[in-house]
Structure formats: structure tokens, C-alpha cells
Amino acid sequence: MTNLSTTAIICSVRGHGEHGAVVRALTPENGLMAGYVRGARSRMMRPVLIPSNLVQADYRARTKDQLASMAAELLHSHGPFLSEPLASAALEWATALTAAVLPEEYSYPRIYVALSALLDAICAAPSAKGWTVALVRYELLLLSELGFGLSLDKCIVTGATDDLLYISPKSAAAVSNGAGRAYADKLLPLPPFLKDTAIPEWNDIFDGLKVTGFFLKRHFFDDRRIDVMAARTVLVDRLKRVVA
């Protein structure tokens, strides 16, 4: 019997059978864990198994290769924010992305800490501008931790470290104004806050979302999982309506 008791962030819930569900949750030390929850659709468990909720999870399996059974006890709920269109879209995207791209049972402690902070920020920040930068940085962290990090410290063409205005979509590296001006329509923007502590305006934030969205789609999402990116489209559209 293999046992594990840990805190976990619910990331996805997929119905299985008449009453149960396969739940994927991110843990601090064991990464993304899948478990079967009996009675997941009951009145008692539905409020617990909401993506973004923090739970105490207990996993039990007879063998290492068997899908573990999972029991979950609510520690902290973000459920009240599901009635807010912008917050709910952000919570849905952050957790769906995490469940879709992380391999199971690989430890990513930095991602756990960052996701936990992002979810709390979405629900606590007084305005969307307070958490959208954290969302972009979380997407960058996922890319980096999974081997697709961006190189933004110097121009890939000239080696210059200043006047960096673009990102090459082919190399995921910075390009200076001088080297990239003639090809600007083929390059991605490089908003300053991606490489320093500058306080961004909304146009910079949307440029950052454009950059991370481009590389997330390239590296993680093919036609079979395009529905995951649809959640991101909903979020960005709602952000644009708020800013307009």
C-alpha cells in the first residue's frame, strides 16, 4: 500500500463513472498528482473539489502503477469568487493550464509556490492590474521549468544588453531595436517588465500576455488540447473589456 498525505491545490476534476471523478491536484513536494474521488459529485464534495481550492489530500494505492484513491478535506476555498466573471476566468485558466502541461508526479516546488500566490492574488487584489503581471510571470515560470525558457538578457543578433525591444519567435531570445527594426512585424514585443522591475501599463501587460500565449501554444497545445487555450482567450477578452 502506497500512502501520501499532503496539502494540494485542485487543478482539474473529470467525472468518472456515475458518482466519482479523477482529480488532478498540485502538491508541494510530489508535483501534480491524480486520484480517484468516490462521491465526488455529492452535495458535500462538490464545493470541496473546485479547481483553485486548497485541500488536505490523502492518497492510497495498492501498487505504484495503480490510480490512487483520494480523499480531500477543504482547507481554503476560492469558490466565492466564481461568481465574479474576471476572477473566475483567471482561476479557471491558471489551474487548467497547470493540469494540462505538468507531467504527473514530478516535483516542481517553485511552481506550487507561484500558483498558490497567484490564486490568492486573483482573489485579494483590489483590481485586475494587481494580478495580471503575476499571471504573466507564472506562465513564464511554467515555460522555464519545463525547458522552454525565454532568453531576454541580451540581443541574440548583436549581443547588446540595452535597447531590447523585441523577442524572436523562432529563438525565444531578445532582439535589440537596431537589429530588429526592419523585421518588427515578424517579431514579438518585449515589454520592459519581463526583464526588470518596471511597473507596467496595460499595453505592456497585454504585450506580455501575447508573448507567453504564443510560446505556450507552440510548446504545449496541439489540436487535441486546443480547448484549454480557449479558457485563456475568454480571460484575455474579459480583461480587454475591463480596460476599455
CATH fold group of domain 1-77:
OB fold (Dihydrolipoamide Acetyltransferase, E2P) (2.40.50)
Residue 48 to residue 141: CA distance in whole angstroms:
27
* 57-77 average pLDDT score: 91
Predicted confidence band of residue 1 (pLDDT cuts 50, 70, 90): very low
Long-range contacts of 157-165 (CB under 8 A, 24+ apart): 164/190, 164/195, 165/189, 165/190
Residue 135 near residue 147, CB atoms below 8 Å: no
Taking the CB of residue 220, how many other CB atoms lie within 10 A of it?
Answer: 18
Average pLDDT over residues 73-94: 95
Class in CATH terms, 81-152+190-244: mainly alpha
Q: How far apart are the first and last CA of the chain?
A: 56
d(CA 73, CA 59): 12
Domain definitions of the chain by residue range: 1-77, 81-152+190-244
Predicted local distance difference test score (pLDDT) of residue 201: 94
State the pairing for strand pair 31-37/164-167.
unpaired
Which pTM value belongs to this model? 0.94
Which range (1-15, 22-36, 155-169) has the least confidence? 1-15
pLDDT computed for residue 226 by the predictor: 63
How far apart, in whole angstroms, are the C-alpha atoms of residue 167 and residue 151?
A: 9
Q: Which three cell numbers stand for residue 88?
A: 473566475
pLDDT tens digits, 164-190: 999 999 999 999 999 999 999 999 999
Q: What is the mean pLDDT of residues 89-118?
A: 97
114 touches 138 (CB < 8 A): yes
Q: In this predicted structure, which of 1-15, 213-227, 230-244 has the lowest mean pLDDT?
A: 213-227
